[in-house]
Structure 1
Amino acid sequence: MSAPSLLPLLRTQTQGVLLAWLYLHPEERHSLTDLARRLGVSVSTIHREADRLVEAGLLTDSHVGRSRLVQARTDTAVFQPLADLLAVTYGPIPVLTGLLSGFPGVLRAYVYGSWAARYQGHGGEPPNDVDVLVVGTPDRDDLYDVAAAARQQLGREVNIRQISAEVWDDPEPAGFVATVRSRPIVELDVRESAPA
């Protein structure tokens, strides 16, 4: 197993995404089941990662009924530096998902370009920006505000491009859509979900 391209200091990609979800939303507690669904991994994988991170003092855990909830531990000297590092590496998924979930007119959203390529393990320099494709009919001015908020949280340029569902779903795409669909992309889970 090789180290993740976005942050080779970490053991696994799952570890990076898990820490980013929790450290970039430190006020929230998440169930292991919800995190497994969001990250697209098994509950047992999240359970093992959570055990390691709780033991290392990076997360806290608690139980509500049968659910185990985890949360970023904010009372340590490593919290802010680690949160900053996670924002510029794994941050696009939790930050953009949070900003675009349930957003009026957004049907789907994807990160593409160099960040998506690094996330999927393709080598190269750290990305300078984050390219986002929004499928649907949201207000363009509102998307500009989303890009500005994401830029502030991620510490890098965020470029959002919008297209219609008809153009994205075309079975024989051309131009920009064909290029995006032929290269690494990461779909964001922008469906509204109940808080943990």
Structure 2
Amino acid sequence: MKVTPSMLPLLRSRTQGELLALLLLHPEREYSITELAEACGVTHTAIVREVDRLVVGGILDDRRMGRNRLVKARTNTPVYRPLSDLIAVTFGPMPLLADALSQLAGVNQAYIYGSWAARYNGEPGPPPGDIDVLVVGSPDADALFDLAEQVGRRLSREVNVHRISPESWAASTTDPFLTSVRERPLVQLNLDQETR
């Protein structure tokens, strides 16, 4: 099913937004088609179609290395910077927060919740004013605050981080905050370094 993303309705699909976020926000990196398909959670064929369109459109570059097709952002065009900025503020929270949190010791899991997660999951509404992040684990509080501030600057919006222990997250609880978070859309961040 083709769903126009409410996060950025100019795009054809959420997959296209995720693909662009991964590539445009990591312009120094080349990805294989397999890595892109895994990172976006779609089939190889779906990624090939999107990559083909974006290469023809001059947004991406690709090259062959043996049997692998490697893809990266094309940064030497006038559209790169404005498109990269637009993708950062819409689809950027997932790859940018995942990158940052995967490097911070003590982070077991992380989720985006609140209005950004709702828009990502297709709920209509205005663009989110901030990004709410739930971190499960025991990272250093100061380092976590600094990370949120740094990513927030890149996303052009505030990043609010709430840290809880793995035991609290796993337990069934009547805590109003956790109950509210669990009842609303959640987007789990992929903290696996393999696809970044």
Same fold (TM over 0.5): yes
CA deviation after TM superposition for structure 1 residue 134, in Å: 0.4
Give the SS at the match of 1:127.
coil
Query: Does the 8 Å CA contact 1:111/1:133 hold for their aligned counterparts?
Result: yes
- Separation (CA, whole Å) in 1 of partners of 2:77 and 2:192: 33
Distance 1:46 1:161, change over 3 A: same
The residue correspondences of 1:30-69 to structure 2 (distance < 5 A) are 30-69=31-70
Task: Give distance in 2, aligned partners of 1:130 and 1:64.
Answer: 38
**Equivalent position amino acid for 1:130 in 2:** I
- What is the distance in 1 between the residues matched to 2:131 and 2:82? 21
TM-aligned CA deviation for residue 189 of structure 1: 0.6
Write the mapping of 1:1-196 to structure 2, written as runs, cut at 5 A: 1-172=2-173, 174-193=175-194
Q: 1:92-114, CA deviations, whole angstroms, 9 ceiling, x for partnerless residues?
A: 01110111114210000000000
Distance in 1 of aligned mates of 2:116 and 2:134: 13
Q: Which sections of structure 2, spanning at least 5 residues, go unmatched?
A: none
Deviations 1:65-95 (A, max 9, x none): 2221110100111000000100110010111
* Matched letter for residue 53 of structure 1: L
In the TM superposition, residue 178 of structure 1 has moved relative to its aligned partner by: 1.2
CA contact (8 A) 1:26 1:74 kept: yes
Deviation sequence 1:145-182 (CA, Å, 0-9, x none): 11011011111110111000011111345321111011
Q: Distance in 2 between matches of 1:43 and 1:152?
A: 33
Structure 1 gap segments, 5+ residues each? none
SS in 2 for 1:193: helix
Instruction: Please report how far the alpha carbon of residue 127 of structure 1 lies from its aligned counterpart in structure 2 after TM superposition.
Output: 0.3
Q: 1:194 to 1:55 in 2, by over 3 A?
A: closer
**What number of residue pairs does the alignment pair up?**
195
When residues 106 and 185 of structure 1 are mapped into structure 2, their CA distance, relative to the original with a 3 A threshold, is: same
- SS of equivalent residue, structure 2 residue 62: strand
**Whole-Å separation in 2 of the counterparts to 1:192 and 1:77:** 31
Structure 1 runs (4+) greater than 6 angstroms displaced: none
Q: What percentage of aligned pairs have identical amino acids? A: 52
CA RMSD of aligned residues (A): 1.3
Counterpart amino acid of residue 188 in structure 1: L
Matched-pair contact (CA < 8 Å) for 1:167–1:173? no
Contact 1:130 1:157 (8 Å CA) reproduced: yes
Residues 109-132 of structure 1 deviation map (CA, whole Å, 9 limit, x = unaligned): 000000000000000010000000
* 8 Å contact from structure 1 (residues 102, 191) kept in 2: no
